[in-house]
Amino acid sequence: MNYKILVILLSLFLIGCVQLPKELDKTEIKLEKKYTNSGFALIFDESLDKIKKLDDRSLMIYHKSLKRKSTVKITNPKNGKSLIAEVKSNNQRFSDFYNSIISKRIAEDLDLDFNEPLLEIVLVSKNSTFIAKKSKTFEEEKKVAEKAPIDSIQIKDLNSTPKKKKTNTKLKFSYSIKLADFYYKTSAKTMISRIAKETNIKNSRILQLSKTKFRVLIGPFNDIKSLKESYEKLRPMNFENLEILNNV
């Protein structure tokens, strides 16, 4: 008799487990708590309307969601160059299409393409090993940037990169919007269906990264205008962290 009860309880437990994947799927995107984003930046200049001045020499950025004085690692994914910067403010208003506003110095130090300033931003904990090693250098560079004449920085940049600018081959514009990564392919397909119903975007696709990782992408786009238009259409769907990826 006890054996039958045990079998029934075990069966109920297994049935409950069958329902578990749907719950896992809902939380899949939120497993990574550390903020990371790939997208286009705005490079500050005086023509930006109603944006508080960002010194050309600074290692500061404006961001919409990260807290003031947050430490971030900024990387140019096209050449692997990176540096440490600090969030100066999160109350500046600019288009959600851009993941940040950066100084000219950051753009030049990373050799960003000013026409396609794609960069990756990662929030770094101040007590991490990475920051422990880099914080001293960051503070020293920040002090130099604040004191040094801007001409001296420009001369250094011109001397160190003229050959690269002449020899770099212009690559074809090809970017996609990353919506989310899913554990199950069925969940990714459900997202594709939702996009089709709620927008008129038709160029969505699924990229399988592994047996348990399916990425939903929109694109690729061959020009920045159509990329931005599709990005804006996705905003009402309230995705947590839309990203822009190159050549995927």
Give the architecture-level CATH label for domain 175-246: 2-Layer Sandwich (3.30)
Count H helices, E strands: the chain?
8, 10
| Amino acid 89: pLDDT | 94
DSSP-derived pairing of the beta strands 204-210 and 82-89: unpaired
Domains of the chain by residue range: 36-167, 175-246
Distance in angstroms (rounded) separating the CA atoms of residues 77 and 121:
10
First to last CA, the chain: 59
pLDDT band with cut points at 50, 70 and 90 for residue 49: confident
| Amino acid 164: pLDDT | 46
| Amino acid 248: pLDDT | 85
CA angle in degrees (0–180, nearest 5) for 80-220-184? 90
CATH no. for 36-167: 2.40.40.10
Task: Tell me, yes or no, if the two domains 36-167 and 175-246 fold the same way.
Answer: no
